Structure 1
Amino acid sequence: MNTLDKTNEEQIREFTQKWLQAVHVKDLDAVMACYAEDVVAYDLFCTAKVTGREPYRKNFEMWFQCCETGPANYEIVELDIVASDAVAFARALNRMTGPNPERKVEESWIRVTVGFQKTGGEWKVVHEHVSVPLDMETQKGLFQSMP
């Protein structure tokens, strides 16, 4: 089945798997190829808003440095997609695992919302929002908050 025979939702699921595989092997160029030049991202790292693929690349560099030993252990647990012929929206609950400074494996949960746009027959991420629940009393992110 070629891309033209697949539904838009199937194309987004395939696109998401390609992104996930690139993350697992920390292939920064392959990850960044998934994003539009003018992507807008609200990420966990640094500034509240990142505009542009090259500035957003720095966030992925920081993340991959946090996973220095082995692959980035990242799993998309829930993925919901709504897609038309030109735009798509996905929301996901994702799980990350890896060693903490004491070398004990920790589990973190994050929420991700992604906006896609199809231009010239090719999907690109144009918006991404990554977040964790917030403890209102301590003002700290609840990375271990289970779904």
Structure 2
Amino acid sequence: MKRPQDFFTIYKQSAWDKDTESMIGLYDDNIVIFDMWNQGYQTGLKEWSVVIKDWLGSLGDEKLNVIFEMIEIHESNDVGFGSALITYQAISISNAIVRSMKNRVTLGFIKQKDEWKVVHQHTSAPINSELKAILNF
């Protein structure tokens, strides 16, 4: 990535194309992930790469449309911070939305050798009074 805001375009296109290598390329070797699913916490690109490959590979014939809203980026010379709302839409081969959910994402970026990488990613969703995630807010 030449700029932190490139993350959002590359991530969206990588998801749509199911291009695991492009998506993996967004992350630093020492990535720390706070995710909402399964383990909830992972470190290292090797471990996170497996999750990305499993996730995009599980889509079968479906496509994945990713929509970012309320993107905020703050950066200095070699450190950046971003946040957004992110909607995931599973699209069937007949072009219908079969599943959809919205999360919040917070990203920490570092710049090394004129390239930005995500070093920290945290996804979350608000919860209701029964402590259940609200995935469509």
TM-score using structure 2 length? 0.85
Q: Take 1:84 and 1:28, find their aligned partners in 2: how far apart are those partners?
A: 29
1:113 to 106, 116, 120: 106
Question: Paired residue for 2:133?
Answer: 141
Question: Paired residue for 2:82?
Answer: 90
Structure 1 residue 99, shift from structure 2 partner = 6.1
2:44 to 38, 47, 52: 52
Higher RCO, Cα 8 Å, sep 6+:
2
Unaligned 5+ runs, structure 1: 4-10
Contact 1:90 1:114 in 2 (8 A): yes
Structure 1 residue 57, shift from structure 2 partner = 1.6
Mark the structure with the bigger radius of gyration.
1
Unaligned 5+ runs, structure 2: none
Structure 1 residue 29, shift from structure 2 partner = 0.9
Question: Paired residue for 1:6?
Answer: none
Size of the aligned set, in residue pairs, is 133
For the residue of structure 2 that corresponds to 1:109, the secondary structure is strand
Structure 1 residue 128, shift from structure 2 partner = 0.2
Structure 1 residue 13, shift from structure 2 partner = 1.7
Show CA shifts across 1:63-112 (max 9, x none). Answer: 22443223211111221000111011000001112269xx8733311000
Q: Structure 2 counterpart of 1:53, which letter?
A: L
Structure 1 residue 12, shift from structure 2 partner = 1.7
Structure with more of its chain in helix, by fraction: 1
Question: Paired residue for 1:28?
Answer: 20
Percent identity, please: 26
What RMSD in Å do the two structures reach over aligned CA positions?
2.1
Question: Paired residue for 1:129?
Answer: 122
Q: Take 1:20 and 1:99, find their aligned partners in 2: how far apart are those partners?
A: 14
